[in-house]
Amino acid sequence: EAGVAQSPRYKIIEKRQSVAFWCNPISGHATLYWYQQILGQGPKLLIQFQNNGVVDDSQLPKDRFSAERLKGVDSTLKIQPAKLEDSAVYLCASSLDRAGWGYEQFFGPGTRLTVL
């Protein structure tokens, strides 16, 4: 079974430029997450999708970050304009939508963003 795919793996941009990241979740996974992982910290949830709809975007800086998940499969996360503090690894994860206790989030390898 193929894992979560992300691209690009690395991106270097100047501040105030825009950037976009792409994620393809595991086939059949209804839930998709975008996390920001700053160096030396744990992942922080930015946005969560259930199929096409947004479940939680409370920690997404909406003045500069946007995300979409068209057709309930692939997703893109965009930053416009980027700031120095956006330098981080952006992780995409997906999970099955099932009832009951416990579930597993499967993470992609991440995109390392450096803002100069």
Partner 1 sequence: QQQVKQSPQSLIVQKGGIPIINCAYENTAFDYFPWYQQFPGKGPALLIAIRPDVSEKKEGRFTISFNKSAKQFSLHIMDSQPGDSATYFCAASSGKAAGNKLTFGGGTRVLVKP
Give the range of 11-19, 49-57, 65-73, 78-86 binding partner 1 by CB under 8 A. 49-57
- C-beta closer to partner 1: residue 70 or 99: 99
Give the range of 11-19, 64-72, 79-87, 93-101 binding partner 1 by CB under 8 A. 93-101
Contact 48, 25 (CB under 8 A): no
Return the closest-CA partner of residue 77 out of 4, 23, 17: 23
* Rounded least distance, CB 111 to partner 1, Å: 11
What span, in angstroms and rounded, lies between the C-alpha atoms of 74 and 70? 7
